[in-house]
Amino acid sequence: MRILGIDPGIATVGFGIVDSEKNKLSLVNYGVITTPAKTSLSSRLDRIYDDMTELCKAFSPDAIACEELFFNTNQKTVLSVGQARGVIVLGLAQKGLALHEYTPLQVKQTVAGYGRAEKKQVMEMVRRLLGMDDLPRPDDAADALAVAICHVQELHTAGLLSRQGGL
């Protein structure tokens, strides 16, 4: 089973793609979609939509996992990131792909074993779980890989992957 993990944003959208087969996770690809700060919001949203659509075409994920938005401050940022997330969700829905959502707490708990884990701890566990030589960078891509791993573990816990021949 192939999972596309997404860490939504307006300036940077992290993505991470992992395969799960027979109790083994393997890294497929990861990176970020970036949009220039000086561009209009509509242009940035268009780029995110186009790039996300291309990712889905190129890697044909079986499932999509996305981190839920969490903000304590800056309402302007919340609105623009929410719009970016909406564009992502629309693009996935048009491709017939279901979206599975996880809070940052759930992702950290699943990947690092502690819901309040520091970013560096999560990145180290992602590195170990995927057998990477170096920590995944940038942070947004590492977060997206953690979201994908979280979804695989949730499916495994629910017994869904074993019935589908995955994990």
The set of catalytic residues is: 7, 67, 140
For 23, half-sphere exposure in the C-beta direction (CA atoms, 13 angstrom radius) is 0
Please say whether the beta carbons of 2 and 131 come within 8 A. Answer: no
CA angle, residues 75, 148, 30, in degrees to nearest 5: 85
In DSSP terms, which residues pair with 25 in a beta bridge?
Answer: 20
* H-state helical runs in the chain: 41-59, 75-94, 104-112, 119-129, 139-157, 160-164
d(CA 165, CA 119): 32
Q: Which residue has the tokens 């995944």?
A: 136
Q: Which long-range contacts (CB under 8 A, 24 or more apart) does 71-79 make?
A: 77/10
